[in-house]
Amino acid sequence: MIPQDFEYSAPASLKEALELIATGERKILAGGMSLIPLMKLRLAAPEHVVDLARVPGLDYITESGGTVSIGATVTHHDLESSPVIRGRAPLLAEAAGHIGDTQVRNMGTIGGSIAHADPAADYPASLLALEAQIRLVSAKSDRTVPASDFFLDAFTTAIEPGELVLEVLVPTEEPKEGYRYEKVAHPASGFAVVGVAARIKKAGAKISMARIGVTGMSSRAFRALEAEKLLESGAGVAQAAATVAEGQEANQDLYASADYRRHLARIWAARALSVALSRAS
């Protein structure tokens, strides 16, 4: 299908982009992997599209003071292959490698993906497990939001009118930390039916820190806090993984029922935790 008529702008600076989105209904175009298909299907019909492709300086990956800063237009491929990400935030690199196919990873961006906030996207689980923060800017403001407060519901985030995602801030993982992203991919779309991101840190034989992010199961990604507490209190992987779906309203569709998604969340959490635990060793 062909999208409805719309006005198109390609600003050459961040200042110009922020001024364009400050008033009226605007849609921001980054990699286009989400917006363009929606426009072609006429599920989205923006009056004005602001393309960030010509805005310089948004495609950086840097590390400073224990934090990795990732610009909004960094592609999934660049995240997956970056030596900085692989060395300092390998969980995020692993998640990026699960996204779509080669063409999608070469075009799609981290900023566009998290702003779209698809409940079956791969990044949110890892960003929650990594306790990342999202920097949002507008023509008049500059604020940082924890990932736990950023993803509000299906396709709904903490982004206010006139704001855009500027960068993602990820605390660096310690060298002996274990990690894993496991995903049940939908056979047609490649999105996560359920995806689980796990981080494990050990002190001797005990787990001193556990972080578990889950995507695909509910209307938004979430932290499995009860499972984390169980692991940190000495419970085994199976016992902790069994609680991952508790307290969450599971999605259901033609491919997977709510009960099946809960089952997948428990099974894949156990797998992700087992690998993360072995890597922490």
Give the pLDDT confidence of 238-278 residue by residue, as tens digits: 999 999 999 999 999 999 999 999 999 999 999 999 999 99
Q: What phi, psi does 203 have (nearest 5°)?
A: -125, 100
> Is residue 1 predicted with pLDDT exceeding 90?
no
The last residue of one of the domains, among 147, 171, 195, is 171
Q: Are residues 218 and 136 in the same domain?
A: no
For residue 170, name the pLDDT band (cuts at 50, 70, 90). Answer: very high
Q: Are residues 70 and 166 in the same domain?
A: yes
Per the structure, the count of domains in the chain is 3
Q: In the chain, which residue ranges form alpha helices assigned H by DSSP? A: 14-21, 35-40, 76-81, 83-88, 90-96, 102-107, 110-116, 123-129, 147-150, 225-232, 237-241, 258-280
Mean of pLDDT values over 7-14? 94
Q: What is the CATH number of the domain that holds 233?
A: 3.30.390.50
171, 198, 218 — which closes off a domain? 171
pLDDT of residue 34: 85
| Domain enclosing residue 250, as ranges | 179-280
Calculate mean pLDDT across residues 23-51. Answer: 86
Q: Do 94 and 143 have their domain in common?
A: yes
Helix (H, G, I), strand (E, B) or coil at 239: helix
pLDDT digits (tens, 9 = 90+) for 204-218: 989 999 999 999 999
Examine the domain organization and report whether 153 and 199 are in the same domain. Answer: no
The answer to whether residue 25 scores a pLDDT higher than 80 is no
Same domain as 196, residue 129: no
Query: Do 127 and 198 fall within a single domain?
Result: no
Please report, for the domain that includes residue 70, its CATH number.
Answer: 3.30.465.10
Q: Is residue 125 part of a domain?
A: yes
Q: Tell me: the pLDDT tens digits for 106-146?
A: 999 999 999 999 999 999 999 999 999 999 999 999 999 99
What angle (nearest 5°) sits at the alpha carbon of residue 94, between those of residues 67 and 203? 65
Q: By C-alpha distance, which of 123, 133, 69 is closest to 94?
A: 123
Tell me the DSSP string of 69-88.
EEETT-BHHHHHH-HHHHHH
2 lies in some domain: no
Q: Is 279 helix (H, G, I), strand (E, B) or coil?
A: helix
